[in-house]
Amino acid sequence: MCPLVLYKIWKTYVVPRYLYGLEVQICTKADIYELEKLQRKLFRQFLSLPERTASSALYILLGAEPVETVLDRNMLSLFLTISRLDNAIEKKILKWELEIGKDFTESFINRIDKILNKYSLPNPKEILENPPSKYKWKNMLKKAINTYWSNIWKEECLIKTTIKYLTIQENPTENPHNIWKAARNNQNDIRKAEFKSRLITGTYMLQTTKAKFSKNQISGICELCTKAEEDIKHFLLDCESLESVRLKQMNKLLSLTELKGGGDKAIYKEEDVLQIIMDCSKLSTTSLSHLKAIDLIEIEKQSQTFCHQMHKERTKIQTR
């Protein structure tokens, strides 16, 4: 089944039961870590990715929310409901908690204060005095959560070389990655998108990956042409043993990136071509800034066929 369907089932039917009532309890960091660990394990299974996959990539690919944020959201929702209850005893208690201040670090209001601060939202006092409308709050929270995770995940994509080609989508905690948007719910599409997910997360076993894991006991030299180290660039752009498949697929792919209506034939730098194949939704690929979301899905589909054909050819040569 398509991972996006599996995630939707998980989010709609399981998460509410899984995290039921936790907003009124005090969850330690270790508790949240355990809950998150289980969710990540499932996400890896949904996406057929191995244990070593960078965790941020799982959320980015599925367009998913970390458990931490679901809990924060539930707590904030309870707080907002109380802050809208004028003259109710619950609101008076919160105002009293606010007055006695920082002495009780585990008080509900102090925990709310930390959460609001984390997402750069207004402080509890401001909200209690002037609660925003449901509509305004919903938009404010959505924006804050997405900005918060975008920043964290962007940082991880910069640090971890395995996911350097992976692009963070707009509103990444609710918007699946282009790779999975391009896949329909059939076996063929799912297989190709799964393969692409392994490439983009650096978990496809190229010769240099094997060398790295064996602490260089295994050579990183390409077994197909034996002329250079087999990294992602060599596999997709350079290896002469794969040239015939590459040429055919590359022409199809690059023709999709040209301006519609007889634009100039684009000339790309090697690094740009690699980025287009790996993840054309990267906004900084300015050469593609003229394209719309639907065009990016078409390019992604073609890129998945390209990568899958290259993989099939590689396997064919290796087993000869």
Q: State the nearest-atom distance from the C-beta of 235 to Zn ion, in Å.
A: 7
State yes or no: residue 239 binds Zn ion (CB under 5 A). Answer: yes
Contact code string over 21-40 relative to Zn ion, x by CB under 5 A: --------------------
Rounded (5°) CA angle 57-61-66: 70
Angstrom distance (rounded) from CA 226 to CA 137: 59
Using CB atoms within 10 A of its CB, is residue 78 exposed (0-12), middle (13-18) or buried (19+)? Answer: middle
Among 13-21, 156-164, 179-187, 238-246, which window interacts with Zn ion (CB under 5 A)?
Answer: 238-246
Q: How many CB atoms lie within 10 A of CB 187?
A: 9
Q: C-alpha 300: how far from its chain's center? A: 16
Among 1-9, 17-25, 162-170, 219-227, which window interacts with Zn ion (CB under 5 A)?
Answer: 219-227
Among 43-51, 195-203, 225-233, 263-271, which window interacts with Zn ion (CB under 5 A)?
Answer: 225-233
Q: State the nearest-atom distance from the C-beta of 302 to Zn ion, in Å.
A: 23
Q: State the nearest-atom distance from the C-beta of 270 to Zn ion, in Å.
A: 16
In terms of CB distance, is 224 or 280 closer to Zn ion?
A: 224
Residues 244-303, interacting with Zn ion (CB under 5 A) = none
Give the three-class secondary structure for 229.
strand
In terms of CB distance, is 166 or 222 closer to Zn ion?
A: 222
State yes or no: residue 224 binds Zn ion (CB under 5 A). Answer: yes
Choice from 80, 157, 222, 256 touching Zn ion (CB under 5 A): 222
In terms of CB distance, is 232 or 239 closer to Zn ion?
A: 239
In terms of CB distance, is 108 or 235 closer to Zn ion?
A: 235
H-run or E-run covering 217:
none
Nearest to 108 by CA among 125, 94, 122: 94
In terms of CB distance, is 119 or 235 closer to Zn ion?
A: 235
Residue 52, token pair as written in the block? 């070593």
Angstrom distance (rounded) from CA 60 to CA 65: 9
Among 167-175, 220-228, 250-258, 298-306, which window interacts with Zn ion (CB under 5 A)?
Answer: 220-228
According to DSSP, residue 242 is labeled: G
Choice from 225, 237, 274, 317 touching Zn ion (CB under 5 A): 225
Rounded (5°) CA angle 222-166-285: 100
In terms of CB distance, is 93 or 225 closer to Zn ion?
A: 225
Rounded (5°) CA angle 192-193-197: 120
State yes or no: residue 54 binds Zn ion (CB under 5 A). Answer: no
Angstrom distance (rounded) from CA 244 to CA 164: 28
State yes or no: residue 109 binds Zn ion (CB under 5 A). Answer: no
H-run or E-run covering 102:
none
Residues 171-210, interacting with Zn ion (CB under 5 A) = none
Q: b/e per residue, 247-258, with b = 16+ CB within 10 A? A: eebbeebbebbe
How many residues belong to the site for Zn ion (CB under 5 A)?
Answer: 4
Which residue ranges make up the site for Zn ion (CB under 5 A)?
Answer: 222, 224-225, 239
